[in-house]
Amino acid sequence: MTACSTVDRAPTLMQVLGDEGLRLFFPLAALHAALWPFLWAVVAGFQLPFASAVPPTLWHANEMIFGSYGAALIGFITTAVPEWSDTKRLQGRALFALAGLWGIGRVAGFLGADGLAVVGAAADLLWLVALPLYVAAISWRKRTTRLASVVFWLTALAMAGASARLGFVAGDTELARSSLHVAGLVFLGLLGLVLARITVPVTNLVLDPSEETSPYRPHPGRRNLTPGLVALAIAGNLAGWSPAVTAYLTIAAGAAFLDRVAEAFIGREAVRAEILALAGSSLLAGVGLLLAGAARLGAPFPETAALHLSLMGGLGLGVLAVFAIAGLFHTGRPLPLPRAARWAFVLLVLGALTRVLPELGALPYPPGPPYALASMLWAAAFLVWLKTYWPFLSRPRRPGSGGC
């Protein structure tokens, strides 16, 4: 008889969702990522009901960065950091409080109401500041510097979020636009950091499912190369360096992402979905940054299209890959990934390419309303993942998966 079989009553759904961050925030992020772009592009026709001082396009960027990706980040940090530091994870009221703050910000973004900008800003800033403080407190208690890079990037995100929200409240569209640009780059820096941490154990698990050996050991210098060069690109933008200088720094950051793709060359196992998804995330992020730098140097396509390839394609695929891989490990299920997860990856990549390639001049624009097909493919990717993984996440932990 296992220890879990001695429990008298099964936990309620709220108890399960409050058990760890990913069970609550990954579904929230998936729902927001699926619904927001579709509602904004297809249903609302790129308009918001109460937006006036701040253009709807900036509300859209804010909601994707701090809404969809913000929820994914909260779920990841509150789940991964306790594992990395061997500390107790946040549970229950703390998680629901973070979800409440995140939700208040999304109401303001959904309406685009200038009058709610202050309320939404305050709610978002509370969780944005809480994350680095939470990680810093763990670092202090454990007397470790291993989480210093996480604290750095989370602090940078909070500062970018505060600056963007100041622009929203003051009606300063240029401040809001530049701050959201920096926030997007910060998320790419976080992506590089996270990929460096999770690719190695996932690759070793693919190569040796018994976990008795660690056949894959990349050069230690690769761990911080990508986030370091992204940080340099951000510094150039903030310092007001010339477009040519910031363009080359952006290209260098893109090249660092492409260097990470080399980690996927592990033999015949390279065609495994989990390996391809992680490598594809770096590939799309890197190519997008290369193209963004080229656009700043005068290439005949808009820089926003290139940034969409990095943020919608690279960051989006990375987020979905984490959802799929962590969703198995934290519910006691082994690799390989379910077939539906592989289709979700395909749908997301198709959605990103459908959004970007026409603006790059590589494909004709699809029929129908602008970006309708791209938003539907993107939404389908997250809904497929949610339909597949919700039965896993909404049930108690399996015996042997880290708890009952």
CA-to-CA separations, 291 to 94, 144, 287, 288, 365, in angstroms, rounded:
41, 38, 6, 5, 19
Asked if 280 and 316 count as a contact pair (C-beta separation under 8 A), the reply is: no
Question: pLDDT value at position 398?
Answer: 56
pLDDT in tens, the chain (404 residues): 333 443 457 788 899 999 999 999 999 999 999 999 888 778 777 777 766 677 888 889 999 999 999 999 999 999 999 999 999 999 999 999 999 999 999 988 887 676 778 898 999 999 999 999 999 999 999 999 999 999 999 999 999 999 999 998 888 999 999 999 999 999 999 999 999 989 989 999 999 888 888 888 877 777 789 999 999 999 999 999 999 999 999 999 999 999 999 888 988 999 999 999 999 999 999 999 999 999 999 999 999 999 999 999 999 999 999 999 999 999 999 999 999 999 999 999 999 999 999 999 999 999 888 899 999 999 999 999 999 999 999 987 655 444 33
Integer Cα distance of 164 and 162 in angstroms = 5
Which of 328, 337, 340 is CA-nearest to residue 397?
328
Residue 404 lies in a domain: no
User: Which CATH number covers residue 253?
Assistant: 1.20.210
In a domain, 401, yes or no: no
Please check whether residue 402 lies inside any domain of the structure.
no
Residue 306 lies in a domain: yes
* Helices within 143-224 (DSSP H only): 148-170, 173-207
CB atoms within 10 A of CB 387: 12
| Domain boundaries, position 356 | 13-208+218-393
In a domain, 4, yes or no: no
Q: Is residue 75 part of a domain?
A: yes
- Looking at the structure of the chain, the number of domains it has is 1
Task: Report yes or no: 181 and 163 within 8 Å, Cβ to Cβ.
Answer: no
- 213 within domain boundaries: no
Q: What is the pTM of this model?
A: 0.93
218: left (phi over 0), alpha (psi -120 to 50) or beta: beta
Contact 63, 109 (CB under 8 A): yes
Which residues, 6+ apart, have CB-to-CB distance to 174 below 8 Å?
167
Identify the residue whose tokens are 């703390």.
94
Structural domain contains residue 63? yes
Q: What's the Rg (C-alpha) of the chain? A: 20
